[in-house]
Each structure stands twice: as structure tokens, then as C-alpha cells.
Structure 1
Amino acid sequence: MGAGIQPPTVAQGSEGNAFVDVVKVLFEPTAVFERVRARPSFFAPFLAIIAVQCVLFFVNLSYLKIAVAAQAAAAGRPAPGTGALAAFGLIGLIVVLGIIFMLTGLILWVLASVLGGGEAKFSTMLSVAAYSAVPSAILLSVVGTIVLYLKGAGQITSPQDMQPALGLDLLVSGAKGFVGAVLKGINPFSIWGLVLMAIGVSTTQRTSKGNGYTAAVAAFVILLLIGAALSAAFGG
């Protein structure tokens, strides 16, 4: 008699649009990651992030031309044309984002497997990495663009100057190189992403919040140090 009125708990966990979840993850992260647990989805958040980044790339292209021209002049070499800059910039953007997500997913996969006592699914951790990147890859980029347009191009001498101070770099004016990149990487949006990552790991792996935050913090620190080292190596 009761069989006909049993709630479809399993089906509810897999319902939802993966693209809509790119927005919902900001407000309902647990529900989104429950759906990710049932059905991993990397391409929806990845494509959404790529789309936003491509739009912002063209919005900021005039500033990028100024920054690259100033950097090229300082190095005594000619600046690339607009077409070449746009082509290489877009290709580089997609490739770099893809590498970042793959690396983040790999780190989370290893950490979640170790902390959870069983092997995690790489596709699930890759999805967690993509969804948890929404605050930094979308919101921070939009805010950064707004700040850039408010400040203008007066003090831009390199592409790094296009990234306004929104994190701990506000406390240390003029910080450059490795330290500057580390400080810039610690901001409200990256911390928001860290929290989402912790919720994603703990929800999808059915592990404790402590293990989720341990994995998220460790991944955050590793990626922050790698990013800062690369930024310093390329003159950031």
C-alpha cells in the first residue's frame, strides 16, 4: 500500500540543469553538489566560465593592447597586432583554464581519496573544481573589469596592472613578484571558492566537513603557490 506514495529521493538528487547550477552553486551549494555526486558535470561550468571569460577578454581588449604595448616598448620589441593578440589571447585563455581545472581536479582526487579512505571519482572532483571556481573565474573577473574601467588606463604598464588590488594586496601597496601574487590570490572571491570546494568534497564523498575543508585548503595553498611562482617567473 505504501509503495505507491514513496518519495523519489534518488531522482530528486539528480534533477536540475547543470548550466543553471552554475548560478545556484553560489546560493545552494549542497544541493548542487548532491546532483554532481549523482551525475558529474564538468563541461557545463567549464563552458559557462569560458563564455564569460571570452566576453570579458574582448571588453578589456583595448586595455590589454595598451598593457602589451607598454611592456613591449620597455623590452625594446614591437607590439603584436590586434588580430594576433586576440587570437593568441583567446587560445591561451582556454588552454590555461583547462590546465588549471585538470590540475585542481587531480589534486582534489588525490586528497579526497586519501582523506576519505577510498578512491574518489576523478570526474566528480573535476566537476567540484569547476563549480567551485565560479566566484573567482566569473564574479571576480566581472568586478575586476568594473574596477579597471573606473580607474582607467593611466597607470597600466603591463598585463599584470590590469588586475586591480582586491585581496590582501590592498594591505601591501606595490607588492610584486611571488609575494604580490600570493597576496592578490587571497581575496573574498577565492575564499568563497574555497568554501564551495570544501562543501563539494564533503558532499560528493560523504565525508566530514573537516576532511572537506582539509582537502580544499590544501588544494588552495598548492594552487596558490604554483600560480604565484609562475607569475613571478613571467614577470608578474
Structure 2
Amino acid sequence: MSNDTPAAVPHSSAWEDLLEVLWAPSAVFERTRTRGVGIYMLLLTGVFLVLVVATKSLLQPYMDANYDLQVIKMAEQGQKMPAEAVEQGRTFSGYFLLFSWSLTAIFSGVLGGLVTWLGAKVVGAALPLGRAVFVATLASVPRVLSLIATAAQGALVDASAVTSLFSASLGPARFVDPVKTNPGLMGVLASLDLFTLWNVLITAVGVSVVARVSRGAGWMASLVGLGITMLFALIPGVLS
């Protein structure tokens, strides 16, 4: 009679998982393959909310520049706004961005989960939509660091040098003039920053571990998901 027993799954708290997924995603996904996504999404949303409230003044130059870019683009299309409307719009746009950043974990989990699920389908990986949402939620942790990096830059840079949200990007979008560049191309370039690529890496590992497929298949699924995201980023350029 065999004395073999199933290996015990290491216990970890949700906080430990959210931290460790940054440098050891394989181990995290292995021990959390059957856990629910709710607690992770809730904790991440809390983190984003606290960060947004605490760093609002540091994020302000990027919010203002992002709105100014929209005003410039509208003016180029013959839709010049009255001065009072510009100021009202600036306030609304700023609060909308803060709200969106606060819900990053939810948006990244649900929408990222959908494209991850589609990517897994393309490569033939058996990854249910619910587990794809789980993978995408944990893979969104680098976006916390992205927000911190943006706030840190807001504390150091000259506000007059900030031309858009892309000015904070740690990728090729940082070095391109957003006024002269097609919005779709800017969206694609923004998808190639450090934190997005970190997200892609974690997603690839997550698909591989959770769906029990090769690492290569995980990478293919993750890259297909990135490709789908880039296609959606191109839409504003096509419509403009």
C-alpha cells in the first residue's frame, strides 16, 4: 500500500499573495488556484482608493494636462469650448479620473479577465472565465506601483513640462508628442510601458499555472490578450 499523500498547499493571507505575486507569481497562483477573487479585488480597490485620496495633489498636474490635451484635440476638430465650460470640464474630468483610478482593480479584473479568457481560448487552454478574472485581478497589482510612480513624478517634475497622462509613462509613450500623434497610436504605445508588460508577465504565468498548460501557451494567451487590448486602443485613432 502506498504511503504517498497529497502535498499540502501552503497557507498564505491575501495580503501576502498580493505582494508576492510581483516577484513569485508561479508560487502564488499554485497555492491560490481554487480561491475566490472577491477578497483580492476588495483589498486592491481599498489600496487604490487610499492612494488616490492621499496623492490627489501630486496627480493633479497629470489630470489637468490630460484634460488640456482633450481640449486641444477638440479645438483641432472645430469644437472650441467656452472658457467657463473649460474650467467646469476640468473639474469634472479630474474627478472622473480619480474615480476611474479608484476602480482600477475592478476594471482590470473584469475587462482584463475577459481578454485573458479570449486569449486562453485562442491557444486552447481550459481557463473558465471566473478563473481568468482571478488571474487578471492578481496581475493588476503592478498598476498599484504605476500609480505610485505617477504620484512620485508629480512631486518632482515641473508641472509646465507635463503634457498629458503619457508624460508619466515608463515606456515609449513618454517620448512622443501627444498633440501631434494619432490617439490610437498613443494608446498602443501606452500599452508598452513597464507596468503593463509586468502585468502581461504575471498573466502569462497565471494562465500557465491555473489552466495547467505550458509556459509558452501561457505567454501566447497573455500576448493575444494584449493584442486585443491594443486593437481597442486603436479605435479612437480610427474615429478621429
Pairwise TM-score range, normalised by the shorter structure = 0.7 to 0.9
Q: Which residue of 1 aligns with 2:114?
A: 106
Q: Give 1:34 deviation, angstroms.
A: 1.0
- Spell out the pairing of 1:1-236 with structure 2 (5 A cutoff): 9=7, 11-12=8-9, 15-39=11-35, 41-58=36-53, 59-61=55-57, 62-63=60-61, 66-67=64-65, 70=68, 75-76=81-82, 77-80=85-88, 88-94=96-102, 98-116=106-124, 118=126, 120-135=127-142, 137-156=143-162, 160-161=164-165, 163-170=167-174, 172-175=175-178, 176=181, 177-230=183-236, 232=237
- The one-letter code sitting in structure 1 at the alignment partner of 2:134 is S
Change in 2 beyond 3 A, CA 1:96/1:50: closer
Cα deviations by residue, 1:115-138 (Å, 9 ceiling, x for unpaired): 3454x2222111100111211x11
Aligned partner of residue 127 in structure 1, secondary structure: helix
User: d(CA) in 1 for partners of 2:22 and 2:109?
Assistant: 18
Q: Which runs of 5+ in 1 are unaligned?
A: none
Aligned partner of residue 109 in structure 1, secondary structure: helix
TM-score w.r.t. the length of structure 2 is 0.76
Does structure 2 retain, via aligned residues, the 8 Å contact 1:148–1:162?
no
User: d(CA) in 2 for partners of 1:206 and 1:73?
Assistant: 48
User: d(CA) in 2 for partners of 1:42 and 1:233?
Assistant: 35
User: d(CA) in 2 for partners of 1:65 and 1:110?
Assistant: 32
Cα deviations by residue, 1:11-42 (Å, 9 ceiling, x for unpaired): 415x2112221101012211110123132x32
Does structure 2 retain, via aligned residues, the 8 Å contact 1:108–1:219?
yes
- The one-letter code sitting in structure 2 at the alignment partner of 1:174 is D
Q: Give 1:148 deviation, angstroms.
A: 2.3
Does structure 1 retain, via aligned residues, the 8 Å contact 2:125–2:213?
no
Q: Give 1:154 deviation, angstroms.
A: 1.5
Quote the RMSD (CA, aligned, Å): 3.3
Q: Give 1:102 deviation, angstroms.
A: 1.4
Q: Give 1:166 deviation, angstroms.
A: 1.4
Change in 2 beyond 3 A, CA 1:12/1:218: same
User: d(CA) in 1 for partners of 2:34 and 2:238?
Assistant: 41
- The one-letter code sitting in structure 2 at the alignment partner of 1:223 is T
Does structure 2 retain, via aligned residues, the 8 Å contact 1:30–1:200?
yes
| Identical aligned residues as a percent | 25
Does structure 2 retain, via aligned residues, the 8 Å contact 1:179–1:228?
yes
User: d(CA) in 2 for partners of 1:202 and 1:108?
Assistant: 12
User: d(CA) in 1 for partners of 2:177 and 2:205?
Assistant: 35
User: d(CA) in 1 for partners of 2:239 and 2:103?
Assistant: 17
